[in-house]
Amino acid sequence: MSTAPSAAPASQEASSARRESTTAYRASVHSSDVGLLVLRLAVGLTMAAHGTQKLFGWFGGGGLTGTAEFFTASGYPSGHAMAVVAGLTETFGGLGLALGLLTPLAGAALLGTLINAIAVKEGGGFFAPKGIEYELLLAAAAAGLALTGPGRYAVDVLLPVLRSHRLVYGFAAVLLAVVLAGAVLLVRN
């Protein structure tokens, strides 16, 4: 007759702890997906609204004429073309980000325009209304979403290539944004 304690209760407790940990992890994964959705909607729709201000003059914007004058005054060549490019980039990049459609590219498109916005406001300090805090926050969010991916609640999960987001996609998109934004800034007077 053995008086050694049974290992079964300890084993059952460990198994129960693993199940609880796994369940908590699954809940946090879905929480992250909801958080990414909220962030995508806020940043994407904000930027899409900015784009429509430039293109159509909606929400008190200057439309193409006013935006072209701003770009010309800010030292960009061909103010009208730059207004169209910026308006389309913000509108479609913002909508893409909100939908989670081609998220790395949508985030990169917004990042590129925001890098230019930060350069235009250079010298105005950090805090709004003349500073760069708003643009920097949007740029960081766009870059973060490009690197992180859209989460489960996005159109990208339906696309075979982007179904499982890879950091390399986000990194390549952010690098593309920085290089193209830098090229645009080089032609600015």
Residue ranges of the chain with per-residue pLDDT less than 70: 1-29, 162-165
Q: Supply the pLDDT for residue 128.
A: 87
Calculate the average pLDDT of the chain: 89
Over the stretch 50-87, which tens digit does the pLDDT of each residue have? 999 999 999 999 999 999 999 999 999 999 999 999 99
Q: Supply the pLDDT for residue 35.
A: 95
Place of tokens 């350069």: 119
On whether the pTM is more than 0.85, the answer is no
- Give the closest residue to 184 by CA, choosing from 115, 133, 123, 107: 115
DSSP 68-94: HHHHHHTT-SSHHHHHHHHHHHHHHHH
Q: Supply the pLDDT for residue 27.
A: 55
